[in-house]
């Protein structure tokens, strides 16, 4: 029914005196609830790990939490691939469930993906539950007991009832969107007609690239101008007449321009190298 005991530590577990003996739970002060969407996401994560599907698991991790605006999908996919490589090949009877859950949580924290409260509570409960079971029976495997439910999970995911409920949910959301969309478009058009629609564009990280581009164009112009001064022998002239070592009739202004442009070019290349090239400066 989607309700579970959210604090299953050893102090809240008892062995009943019935025949045969069974387990009982105490202290229902902390109870969690799993809705259909969260259950489907968790089932999808288990199936993605079992089938070594990195792309599906990455998508589900982003779906279950709130992702930051600057999330790097490539790095997240690499971390998820490492997770699958670690746990995807483990046999079911020795699968480290708490370790896998802890690693998934670490990945989400590392990429600043915040978990909803009900998801965090469920992960905490699963880790606590496996710890309590290991205390009672070190050889017990929680996933081994869950094996018969995997077939039911597959059948439930593709059952006509589930597909009908999903289509009904999509229809309700689409109907709500179609009801509100015309009024929202009308409001935007009214702002356009009244001239009150403002579009604000903000650039981020372009200043270093723009500065280097302007300096590069400026000193390129100095270099070309110096070349023309040397070509036309614009006075004042150095080494007039026979010259020195075959060098003669050099424009002093052209030489100065050459020197300034070369020094500026070297400084520009040094600045780009120290900052990690233009691409890194743009991201910063």
**Residue 203's pLDDT is what?**
67
Rounded Cα gap, residues 277 and 80, in angstroms = 29
The structure tokens listed for 128 are: 């606590």
**Residue 279's pLDDT is what?**
45
**Residue 94's pLDDT is what?**
67
Rounded Cα gap, residues 36 and 165, in angstroms = 10
For the chain, the structural domain boundaries read: 3-162, 207-283
Residue 127's nearest CA partner among 152, 155, 104, 93 is: 104
Q: Which residue has the tokens 């233009």?
A: 278
**Residue 205's pLDDT is what?**
64
Q: What is the three-class DSSP state of 140? A: coil
**Residue 124's pLDDT is what?**
79
Q: 34, 64 in Cβ contact below 8 A?
A: no
**Residue 280's pLDDT is what?**
45
Q: Which residue has the tokens 């400066």?
A: 281
Q: 13 forms bridges with which residues in the sheet?
A: 25
The structure tokens listed for 44 are: 């999808």
Q: What is the mean pLDDT of each run of 10 residues along the chain (284 residues)?
A: 74 76 78 77 75 83 83 87 78 70 84 82 77 72 66 72 82 88 88 81 70 82 86 80 69 86 84 62 42
**Residue 243's pLDDT is what?**
61
The set of long-range contacts for 266-269, using a CB threshold of 8 Å and a minimum separation of 24, is 268/212, 268/215, 268/216, 268/219
Nearest 10 degrees: Cα torsion 126, 131, 136, 142: 40
Handedness of CA 3, 6, 134, 61 (dihedral sign): positive
**Residue 93's pLDDT is what?**
62
- 123 burial via Cβ count (<10 Å: 0-12, 13-18, 19+): middle
**Residue 281's pLDDT is what?**
41
Q: 119, 104 in Cβ contact below 8 A?
A: no
């Amino acid at each position: 029914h989607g309700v579970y005991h959210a604090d299953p530590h050893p102090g809240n577990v008892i062995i009943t005196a019935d025949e045969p003996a069974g387990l009982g739970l105490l202290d229902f002060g902390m109870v969690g609830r799993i809705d259909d969407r969260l259950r489907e996401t968790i089932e999808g994560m288990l199936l993605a790990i079992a089938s070594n599907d990195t792309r599906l698991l990455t998508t589900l991790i982003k779906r279950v939490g709130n992702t930051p605006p600057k999330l790097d999908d490539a790095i997240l996919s690499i971390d998820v691939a490492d997770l699958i490589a670690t746990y995807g090949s483990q046999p079911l009877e020795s699968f480290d469930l708490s370790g896998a859950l802890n690693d998934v949580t670490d990945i989400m924290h590392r990429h600043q993906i915040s978990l909803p409260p009900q998801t965090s509570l469920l992960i905490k409960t699963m880790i606590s539950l496996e710890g309590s079971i290991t205390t009672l029976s070190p050889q017990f495997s929680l996933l081994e007991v869950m094996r018969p439910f995997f077939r039911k999970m597959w059948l439930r995911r593709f059952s006509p009832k589930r597909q009908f409920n999903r289509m009904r949910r999509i229809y309700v959301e689409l109907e709500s969107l179609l009801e509100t969309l015309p009024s929202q478009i009308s409001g935007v058009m009214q702002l356009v007609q009244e001239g009150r629609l403002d579009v604000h564009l903000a650039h981020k990280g372009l200043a270093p690239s723009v500065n280097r581009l302007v300096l590069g164009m400026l000193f390129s112009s100095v270099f070309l101008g110096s070349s023309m001064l040397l070509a036309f022998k614009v006075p004042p002239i150095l080494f007039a007449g026979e010259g020195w070592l075959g060098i003669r009739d050099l424009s002093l202004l052209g030489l100065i321009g050459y020197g300034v442009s070369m020094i500026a070019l070297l400084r520009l290349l040094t600045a780009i190298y120290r900052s990690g090239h233009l691409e890194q400066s743009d991201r910063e």
